[in-house]
C-alpha cells in the first residue's frame, strides 16, 4: 500500500513538473514570437514609408496633370498628354495603397504559415506595383519634360521639336525591350544565382528581411 502511494505521488509530481515545463516552453515561444514580430514590424516600416511617398508622388502628378490639361484642353495633343499623366498618377496612388493595405492586413496572431502567405501577398503586390510604376517612365519622361517646358516657357515641343519627342519615345521603347530581354535572360534555369538576385531585388530589402524573420520563427517553433 505504501509503495503504491509513493508511486502515485511520484506520478503526480512528474505530471506537475511536465505541465510546468510545457507552460514554460509555451511562454518562451510566445515571448520569442512577440520579439520577432516586433522586429518584423520594424523591418516593414521603410516599405510603408516608401509606399506613402509613392502615393504622395502620385497625388502631385494628379494635381499637376489636372491643372495642365485644364489649361490646354483646347489643344488635343496637350490634353491627351495631361490625361495620360493624370491616369498614371492615379495608378501610382492605387499601387501604393494596395501594398499599404496588404501590410495592414497581416495578422501577427495567426500561425506562421498564414503570416508567410500574407507576406507573400504583400511581396506580389509590391513587385506588380514596382513594374506598373517604374517601367512606364521609359516613355513618360518625354511627356513630363514636354509638359514642364510648355507650362514654364510656352514652348510646345510636340509641335516645334517633334524629332526630339519621337526620338525620346523610340529610345524609351528600346529601353522597354532591353528590360524585357534582360529579365527573360536573367531567369534562365542556367543562371539560378542571377535569377535569385533579380527576384530579391524586385521584392526589396524590407520584405526579404521580414521573410528571414518568419523563417527563423518557423524553425524555432519546430524545435
The mean pLDDT of 158-170, rounded to a whole number, is: 96
| Burial label, 213 (beta-carbon count in 10 A; 0-12, 13-18, 19+) | buried
Locate 213 and state its grid cell: 524573420
The mean pLDDT of 94-112, rounded to a whole number, is: 88
Where do we find the cell 513594374? 131
Number of Cβ within 10 Å of residue 68's Cβ equals 22
By the 8 A CB rule, do 176 and 98 touch? no
Give the pLDDT confidence score for residue 62 in this predicted structure: 97
Give the pLDDT confidence score for residue 26 in this predicted structure: 53
Q: Which range, of 22-31, 76-85, 139-148, 208-217, averages the lowest pLDDT?
A: 22-31
Number of Cβ within 10 Å of residue 67's Cβ equals 12
pTM of the model: 0.79
Give the pLDDT confidence score for residue 42 in this predicted structure: 83
Q: How far apart, in whole angstroms, are the C-alpha atoms of residue 105 and residue 127? A: 18
Distances (CA, A) of 142 to 32, 85, 210: 52, 11, 37
Locate 128 and state its grid cell: 506588380
Q: How far apart, in whole angstroms, are the C-alpha atoms of residue 87 and residue 155? A: 24
Q: Name the CA dihedral angle for 208, 212, 217, 222, rounded to a multiple of 10 degrees.
A: 120
By the 8 A CB rule, do 206 and 44 touch? yes
Domain boundaries, the chain: 2-222
Higher-scoring residue by pLDDT: 193, 172? 172
What integer best gives the mean pLDDT of the chain?
A: 82
Q: How far apart, in whole angstroms, are the C-alpha atoms of residue 82 and residue 61? A: 10
Q: 21-25, 31-35, 46-50 — which one is most confidently predicted on average?
A: 46-50
Amino acid at each position: 500500500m505504501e509503495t503504491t502511494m509513493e508511486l502515485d505521488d511520484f506520478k503526480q509530481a512528474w505530471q506537475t513538473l511536465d505541465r510546468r515545463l510545457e507552460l514554460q516552453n509555451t511562454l518562451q515561444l510566445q515571448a520569442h514570437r512577440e520579439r520577432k514580430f516586433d522586429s518584423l514590424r520594424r523591418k516593414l516600416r521603410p516599405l510603408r514609408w516608401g509606399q506613402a511617398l509613392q502615393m504622395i508622388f502620385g497625388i502631385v502628378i494628379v494635381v499637376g496633370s489636372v491643372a495642365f490639361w485644364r489649361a490646354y484642353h483646347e489643344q488635343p495633343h496637350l490634353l491627351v498628354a495631361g490625361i495620360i499623366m493624370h491616369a498614371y498618377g492615379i495608378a501610382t496612388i492605387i499601387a501604393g495603397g494596395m501594398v499599404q493595405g496588404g501590410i495592414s492586413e497581416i495578422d501577427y496572431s495567426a500561425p506562421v504559415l498564414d503570416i508567410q502567405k500574407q507576406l507573400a501577398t504583400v511581396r506580389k503586390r509590391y513587385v506588380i506595383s514596382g513594374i506598373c510604376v517604374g517601367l512606364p517612365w521609359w516613355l513618360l519622361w518625354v511627356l513630363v519634360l514636354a509638359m514642364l517646358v510648355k507650362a514654364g516657357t510656352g514652348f510646345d515641343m510636340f509641335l516645334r521639336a517633334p524629332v526630339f519627342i519621337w526620338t525620346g519615345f523610340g529610345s524609351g521603347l528600346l529601353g522597354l525591350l532591353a528590360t524585357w530581354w534582360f529579365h527573360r535572360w536573367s531567369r534562365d534555369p542556367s543562371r539560378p544565382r542571377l535569377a535569385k538576385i533579380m527576384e530579391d531585388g524586385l521584392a526589396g530589402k524590407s520584405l526579404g528581411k521580414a521573410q528571414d524573420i518568419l523563417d527563423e520563427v518557423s524553425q524555432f517553433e519546430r524545435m
